[in-house]
Amino acid sequence: MKKIEMTEEIILAKKKANLSWETLSEKVSLGSVFLTSACLGMNSLSKEKAEKLCEVLELSSDVAEALQEYPNKKWEQRVPTDPLIYRLYEVVGVYGETIKEIVGEKFGDGIMSAIDFSMDIDKEKNEAGDRVVITMNGKFLPYKSW
């Protein structure tokens, strides 16, 4: 089974079960962002977690096997047209250099890991309009000289 077929089956089963990503992640004991990413084909799950997800969604062992396969993390290199994803590109375009400068001042020359990484997405109530709160937490990796 290809990752795209796996994702399609998961999405249909999730919809049929009327479960949110948050509820599904609680049942599987994984963070909602990571579980969603794995279900969309951008990360892999351990055998235990893949089987648990398939048990909850009543999916086949083929889906569990596909969830365990290493992902091929390719995406389109053009600017996306989906408004939410485009705005994230805009945030990086406008604030990317600022983030890099401040990280450099606080940590030195290096990068934030996207491998030793976690992310949470929360909703903050606000009278002026609810707020999206995205918290990214990545290990700092200094560049080395040789």
DSSP letters of 11-52?
Answer: HHHHHHHT--HHHHHHHHTS-HHHHHHHHTTSS---HHHHHH
* 30 and 36 Cβ atoms separated by less than 8 Å: no
Q: Are residues 51 and 91 in the same domain?
A: no
- Asked if residue 76 belongs to a domain, the reply is no
- Asked if residue 42 belongs to a domain, the reply is yes
Which pLDDT belongs to residue 142?
94
- Asked if residue 78 belongs to a domain, the reply is no
The pLDDT of 65-79, averaged and rounded, is 85
| CA pair distance 34, 25, nearest whole angstrom | 9
- We report the CATH number of the domain holding residue 135 as 3.30.1160.10
Question: Is residue 12 predicted with pLDDT exceeding 90?
Answer: yes
**Measuring CA to CA, which residue among 59, 6, 1 is closest to residue 28?**
59
- Asked if residue 37 belongs to a domain, the reply is yes
Question: Is residue 134 predicted with pLDDT exceeding 90?
Answer: yes
Phi, psi values for residue 130, rounded to 5°: -55, 150
The pLDDT of 1-18, averaged and rounded, is 96
Residues annotated as catalytic are 87, 90, 113
Segments of the chain assigned E as strands: 110-124, 131-142
Q: Are residues 57 and 11 in the same domain?
A: yes
Q: How many domains does the chain have?
A: 2
Q: When comparing pLDDT for 79 and 126, which is higher?
A: 126
- Asked if residue 39 belongs to a domain, the reply is yes
Which of 68, 100, 125 is where one domain is finished? 68
Which of 37, 68, 99 is where one domain is finished? 68
Residue 33 domain boundaries: 3-68
| CA pair distance 63, 4, nearest whole angstrom | 11
pTM metric for this prediction: 0.80
Q: What is the pLDDT of residues 82-123, one digit of tens each?
A: 899 899 989 988 888 888 988 998 999 999 999 999 999 999
Which pLDDT belongs to residue 129?
97
Which pLDDT belongs to residue 79?
80
- We report the CATH number of the domain holding residue 35 as 1.10.260.40
User: Please, which residues have CB within 8 angstroms of residue 29's CB and are 6 or more apart in sequence?
Assistant: 49, 52
- Asked if residue 74 belongs to a domain, the reply is no
| CA pair distance 10, 79, nearest whole angstrom | 27
- Asked if residue 10 belongs to a domain, the reply is yes
